Structure 1
Amino acid sequence: MGVESVPITPGQVSFLLGIAPVFVAWIYSEFLDYKRTSSHSKVHSDTNLVELENQTIKEDDRAVLLEGGLTKSASAKFQTSSIKANLIRFLTMDDTFLLENRATLRAMSEFGAILIYFYICDRTNLLADSTKVYNRDLFLFLYALLIIVSAMTSLKKHNDKSAFSGKSILYLNRHQTEEFSF
């Protein structure tokens, strides 16, 4: 019995052509970030003072974003950049664009890797089939344990303070719950 070879579909080709540049861009952005952070060894440099000031401004923007929504500078940044300009910056591997979107590239790469893993598990014979084992008592025990733990954590009063501004963090505050409404 031989293994039948199945031709590659256009969907598979387009997926690989789509995920490969994202993965390469993410690896390159991680390299750029490593190179940028390792160059901070000169503590008393004037350029480092400017970069440190920019980082504190970005951290303040991030604190406002975590606690209440988009800042003015972030919302202006989203409105001025067009999709075409961002696509060109991505395809030309613009260093600043890759550094700004490093987290997004990482998330896209992780999602693509998960999809590739699912494809390998579901559509190939690389991994052998296994038999399913079901234990009703173990399932009920773990289900009850999950309900107890989630009830304990949801009933606990949280007094966490923001690391950025020192204000208390409100879980499911008005800003977050308004996003749920339709």
Structure 2
Amino acid sequence: MVVSSPITPGQVSFLLGIIPVFVAWIYSEFLEYKKSSSPSKVHSDNNLVELGSETIKEDDRAILLEGGLTKSASAKFNSSSIKVNLIRFLTMDDSFLLENRLTLRAMSEFGAILTYFYVCDRTELLGDSTKNYNRDLFIFLYLLLVIVCFMTSLKKHHDKSAFSGKALLYLNRHQTEEWKGWMQATV
């Protein structure tokens, strides 16, 4: 017989946080589907505006990969306050949900993973199982993983940027400086 305990404040706050995010993500996916499935006019000026904004986004993305934030991208982050964004989220503003659809998806996936971990660890919904440990299999898989990592590190990468034609460095200065900043901030 399983004795259930009362719901804790942490469980309530988690559910009050994850359920609106999940609902907002589902609604933003519906809005994206509705926007992409609606027939658009071939010779419309609206399509020209959309195409122009997509090319700007691609240029910003290429610059970000090569060396850092552009001035226009950094201005976008500072222009809107947290309070305004929270109000737009709570009122389920269509344009806000479409802009942040991928972020809402990532937050929903993370919440689903946390919920799965909670169900597996703290409830009796899934039965117990016996652990099966094999030292030889573990060593074999570990060595196989090390060999695969070693072989992939030997491959030379000759990727060029589509934007500037320069070689893309996987550990470029901008990326290592950002890691350095994060390491200093956590100490």
Distance change in 2, residues 1:166/1:33 (3 Å) = farther
Partner of 2:136: 137
Name the % identity: 81
Counterpart of 1:60? 59
Q: Distance in 2 between matches of 1:36 and 1:126?
A: 40
Give TM-score, length-normalised by structure 2: 0.90
Q: Hey, what's the Cα distance between the residues in 1 that align with 2:139 and 2:31?
A: 49
Instruction: Summarize deviations over 1:110-166 as a string: whole Å, max 9, x none.
Output: 110000000000000000111111111111111011111111112211112335554
In structure 2, give the amino acid aligned to 1:170.
L
The answer (yes or no) to whether the contact 1:162–1:168 under 8 Å persists in 2 is yes
Which residue of structure 2 aligns with residue 102 of structure 1?
Answer: 101
- Provide the secondary structure at the position in 2 that maps to 1:4: coil
Match of 1:177 in 2: 176
* Unaligned stretches of 5+ residues in structure 1: none
Q: 2-side partners of 1:59 and 1:34: how far apart?
A: 22
Asked if structure 2 preserves the Cα contact closer than 8 Å seen for 1:40 and 1:48, the reply is no
CA–CA separation in structure 1 for the residues paired with 2:30 and 2:167? 36
CA RMSD in angstroms comes to 1.6
Counterparts of 1:20-169 in structure 2 under 5 Å?
20-39=19-38, 41-163=40-162, 165-169=164-168
Gapped runs of 5+ residues in structure 2? none
Return the alpha-carbon distance in structure 2 between the equivalents of residues 114 and 164 of structure 1.
37
Return the letter of the residue paired with 2:64: L
